[in-house]
Amino acid sequence: MVFTTISQLSAGLPRELFCRRTPLQPVMETSCRQPKRRGLIISIKNYKPEVGTPLRWVHDDANEMRELLCGSSLGFQLDDVTVMIDLPGVADHLQPTCSNITRQLELFLKEQRPGDIFFFMYVGHAFHQLNYDGTEEDHQDEYLISLDGGKILDDILYSFLVKPLLPGSKLIAVMDTCHSGTLLDLPHHRCNRVSNWTSSARRTIRSGLERLPSWLFRGDGPAVPPTISSHGEAIRLFGLPLPRWATSVKHPVKFCSGFCRRRPLRETEEPFALCFSACKDPQKTYEGPYEGQSMSRAFVRTLSMPRTRNPCSST
């Protein structure tokens, strides 16, 4: 499996994320149904004061994203994009309460087939709480906050959105909320950051590490690229210190060193998950004073830019 997080949006967002570069050969698949594209957008604005500060532009962000998915060459059909939004007149089962969100998450990947493409977006409040099982680098579990104040933990999001993905399927997620760096519990949250000079330095060092003999990278299995706990020896060759948690955590889940070894994606054999996060786990993100000043809008504007060739087009 190839699961990764990009903290903060880069300007060079490729439309290829929503495309299949090569024909997919479904595994143990007897149906002739063509791969489908499904979307789930959750937007919460009118929080009660005891739950969270009401937000201003999140409904507009959700509408813009739905129009992008359904009104462009990205190939999503209106009936296949579910929008949960706290507006009068919206069906009760689409109000973004904790129980409704959990139900929609359960249904989202339920009828998937290999090669299907899924888009998930959340705009609203999020926070974190202490983690007690040693599966978090910062000892915090992040969670979404529903309209009624319920908590939807990152573990739950992973179990519904990432873990069930079939070979060849793709998930692209946009988390426009606070503390969102690892909200999907994806393992590669540091090696793909695009926000500052330290990220560029990590990628430069990683290029050097990848030139080392493969036997230095112990535990480099066929499915998941190694993290710091599996090739710490190679990092030590460059004189880089290992964090204390690298050798003491019993059940590492998303301890990405920033130097993870890259490899080609086997599209017909593996699922792929990519998350665009508005900020790192300890950080907060804020709405701008004017409409359109959000990561979601930046995402929409980037994908709406004209291209000399649309890779999603068959012509």
Residues annotated as part of the active site? 125, 178
Please check whether residue 179 is in contact with residue 126, taking contact to mean a CB–CB distance below 8 angstroms: yes
* Tokens read off for 60: 């507009």
157-161 LR contacts (CB < 8 Å, sep 24+): 157/105, 157/183, 157/184, 157/185, 158/184, 158/185, 158/186, 160/105, 160/106, 160/108, 160/109, 161/105, 161/108, 161/109, 161/118, 161/120, 161/273
Q: What are phi and psi of 199, to 5 degrees?
A: -65, -40
User: Which amino acid is it at 124?
Assistant: G
* 11 secondary structure, DSSP code: S
C-alpha–C-alpha distance, residues 8 and 276, integer Å: 6
Q: What is the CA radius of gyration of the chain?
A: 20
Written as one string, the DSSP assignment of 192-204 is T--SSHHHHHHHH
